[in-house]
Structure 1
Amino acid sequence: MNPFQGVIPAITTPFLADDTVNFAVMDAHARWMLANGCSGLVPCGSLGEGATLSFDEKVEVIRTCVLAAGDKPVIAGIAALSTAEAVRLAKAAEAVGAKGLMVLPPYVYVGDWAEMRAHLDAVIDATPLPCLLYNNPVAYKVDFLPEQIAEMAKRHANLVAVKESSTDARRIAAIRALIGDRLVLGVGVDDCLMEGVAMGASFWIAGLVNAFPKESVELFELSRAGKFDEAFRLYAWFLPLLRMDTVPKFVQLIKLVQQEMGWGSERMRAPRAALVGAEREAALAVLKQAQATLNEALPTRA
């Protein structure tokens, strides 16, 4: 089974007041999104605050998602300060039941292509699991260019997908032009969904889906079906929220919206802190407007 298809939440990591992971809420939240049409789960990514989790916490988060997902795939985010730790995490993710790996560049160190290629080689070769290359130069300061992605596809049979998060709508087309259908292509930024699907993306690793799974799945399915007028009406409604996924405080914003929609809390691990003042009020105003106008975007629900 191809684990890279449909709408796949980059699931947030909930925390208790004592700063430990709230595994019970994570389990319930995961099950709710899957019941509302999501195709799988991606734990330990950027939105999941993977950089603040210990190795053991990451493994337990992945295990929790696997148990919640049943027969749907869990694609574990694999990032670490060192290549050795990333390899160890990849093997641990396989051991607890992950069905795929989302491979990131290393945290902190920004190397040249030879160094980054060696890191990717080691992680992708660590298990036989299908791997997704995550390109997010905005967050990680490493940009995997289409030519480099094509090179990695030749080197690794189990590299089967790319999550393109450069925010450059031209990238998916550029990758396809180089490698055709060799890799499954996915959108990794929320406010580029329709553009990415129009260029051939077949999955969406999404952020606001944590609060709006039904709407996210409907938008994706309408886009994939080529029902662009209906899709754009929903997209236009959703865009003020989706843009929260592409700013430095995306974790704060998405967790706030998720809390207001009744799932989890906005607690985060320091140095992140909850939004206050005008920032918070502006985000809540966007959410309030979206709640008030949803029926206009979905007239069949009126």
Structure 2
Amino acid sequence: MNVSGIIGYPVTPFSDVNGHVDFENLAQVIDTLFSAEVDAIAALGSAGEAAYLTEIEWQKVAEYTVKYVNSRVPVVIGIAELTTAQAVKRAKYAYEIGADMIMVSPFSYYQLDEDELFRHYESISNATPLPIMIYNNPATCGIDMSPQFMLKMVNNIKNTCMIKESSGDIQRMHKIYNLSNGQIPFFNGCNHMALEALNAGASGWCTAAPCLIGKQPKYLFDAVKQGENEKARELFYQQYEFLEFIVHSGLAAAVKSGFSIQGTPIGGPRKPLLPLTEFSHQQLKTMLLKLNSLT
């Protein structure tokens, strides 16, 4: 599967009444991403609070997202599990419900070595024909995979075909591009590095930003790909403070606060995550007023 461009991340709304997943508001979140003209939708990542969902909730969110998107764009399902057996189970489920791709990050309590990681991905690949995006996110998962090792997996494990790099080190992206001769697609997972990553050859940008600032990430991606360097820099620096803010404030809390600011309350994050403080909420409100006045 050839995926590129902006991969939008929906948050998972929760009801203020009973704390359950609010599927009516999830539809609104997905519609917001469609309005932002994202090229794919990746459910159940960190922005979607996948780690805080029950097994049944996870399955229902995955299934609902696939059905609601209804093949309008590819759907990627995020998988980050402690055990290989649970990751395989979720990969099979993603295939059964009609997802187009899975994004797999190795989540670990013990520090896994490369042989353990290789076998983890290999087992998932053997369980389903779905394309696999290898996701390196050491800050969240506690495991940092080198470009060389991720490329080894792409070259030696069927179905592993692309990489999402979120270590925050732009040199990783240069190495992926250089070592693969530009043949292996990789995606930026660090919002505040979007301009550098796209200029380094990233095939796309995985982000929850379109939930709040519409087509502006898409405009930035298009400007870079069209070689409009001055325009790209201008677009990036317009967004930069906001992109940095939502990461440092916590994606789920920040994006949900932003929906509330823009007139669509979708509940807060699930504990132990907390909503933004009033000060941070007002900071975000100021940024969004400024950004949305530019569109």
Report TM bin, short chain.
over 0.9
Counterpart Cα distance in 1 of 2:9 and 2:173: 20
- More displaced 10-residue stretch of structure 1: 57-66 or 43-52: 57-66
Change in Cα spacing, 1:222 to 1:26, as seen in structure 2 (3 Å) is same
- What is the number of residues matched between the two proteins? 293
Show CA shifts across 1:146-196 (max 9, x none): 110121012123111111101011111101111123421111111111101
2:15 alignment partner in structure 1: 16
Instruction: Answer whether contact 1:81 1:109 (CA < 8 A) is retained.
Output: no
2:167 alignment partner in structure 1: 166
1:88 alignment partner in structure 2: 89
Instruction: Answer whether contact 1:11 1:47 (CA < 8 A) is retained.
Output: yes
SS of the aligned residue for 2:130 comes to coil
Counterpart Cα distance in 1 of 2:63 and 2:232: 35
2:69 alignment partner in structure 1: 69
What TM-score do you get using the length of structure 1 for normalisation? 0.91
1:47 alignment partner in structure 2: 47
- The Cα of 1:294 is off from its aligned counterpart by 5.0
Runs of 5+ consecutive residues of structure 1 not aligned to the other structure: none
1:195 alignment partner in structure 2: 196
2:4 alignment partner in structure 1: 5
1:100 alignment partner in structure 2: 101
Within a 5 Å distance, the mapping from 1:180-259 to structure 2 comes to: 180-247=181-248, 249-259=250-260
SS of the aligned residue for 1:181 comes to coil
- The Cα of 1:265 is off from its aligned counterpart by 2.6
Counterpart Cα distance in 1 of 2:181 and 2:214: 30
Whether 1:140 and 2:138 are equivalent positions in the alignment is: no
Counterpart Cα distance in 1 of 2:50 and 2:77: 10
- The Cα of 1:293 is off from its aligned counterpart by 5.6
Counterpart Cα distance in 1 of 2:36 and 2:239: 17
Counterpart Cα distance in 2 of 1:230 and 1:205: 21
SS of the aligned residue for 2:107 comes to coil
Counterpart Cα distance in 2 of 1:234 and 1:92: 39
- The Cα of 1:54 is off from its aligned counterpart by 1.6
- More displaced 10-residue stretch of structure 1: 214-223 or 195-204: 214-223
- The Cα of 1:24 is off from its aligned counterpart by 1.2
Instruction: Answer whether contact 2:80 2:106 (CA < 8 A) is retained.
Output: yes
User: Larger relative contact order (C-alpha < 8 A, sep ≥ 6)?
Assistant: 2
- The Cα of 1:272 is off from its aligned counterpart by 0.7
2:34 alignment partner in structure 1: 34
Show CA shifts across 1:70-125 (max 9, x none): 22111000112211011000000111110000011024443222222221211222
Counterpart Cα distance in 2 of 1:257 and 1:101: 27
- The Cα of 1:248 is off from its aligned counterpart by 6.1
